[in-house]
Amino acid sequence: MSNLIIDEGNSRCKAYVFENNAIVERETGSEISKELLTSLVSKHNVSKIISTSTRRAEFELPAELPHTSHVRFNAQTKLPITIDYKTPETLGRDRIAAAVGARSLLPETNVLIIDMGTAITIDFIDNQGVYHGGIISPGATMRARAMNQFTGCLPLVELPANAELTGKSTEEALQFGILNGIRFEIDGYISRYMHLYEGLQVIVTGGDAELIDHKRVSIIFEPDLVSIGLNGILSYLNR
């Protein structure tokens, strides 16, 4: 039997099939169709499904899916970690799932989780499995659009792969300001957390993960961190 993970993000929808805690198939698109879900369930003999969505409406499964149990991940779902957060009902489920994924990959370790998506989130889970919260910051595209929309003359720029320290044109000044701003911001958080917590490990995930300095030997890149966490939650609920 396999687990099916459905993750509806702000920009993309992802479906993952796990067998024995390993991903055997993944599908990504702007939407996940009923036909695709039916095919995945039949092809992999899926028995358990967990879904989460950052969109306003909860994800609905096709009524005709046979022999499957469905967990809608929400604030009441039992977790294999402890949440130390003032408003857990407002905590993004992708942030929780990423923390569970980090805990499963690096047990008994202090971990800083950086998710480079539409927004940038930086979250901390300690070596006892306690999630302490973190920060939410504008992502790269959001910053570029804000500079264009909230000024009279600044253009909307495409973001390059690399940035110099000094821009030689207005376009470069915008591009380098966005990229360097993100990198310096993240470097600052990593340095501060490393000073506070011994043996800290850093995991980076999300569609804009390539914006992070890949030369840092202490950084682990895991593009499937949220799905790993969702699978871990589903497995925990079915112990």
User: Which residues are designated catalytic?
Assistant: 94
What is the β-pairing status of strands 201-205 and 219-221? parallel
Q: Do residues 101 and 229 touch, judged by C-beta distance below 8 A?
A: yes
What secondary structure letter does DSSP report for 210? Answer: G
CA distance 163 to 177: 8
Q: Do residues 97 and 52 touch, judged by C-beta distance below 8 A?
A: yes
Q: Do residues 101 and 222 touch, judged by C-beta distance below 8 A?
A: yes
Quickly tell me which residue has 């989780």 as its tokens: 113
Quickly tell me which residue has 């469905």 as its tokens: 70
Q: Which residues contact 30 (CB under 8 A, 6 or more apart)?
A: 12, 13
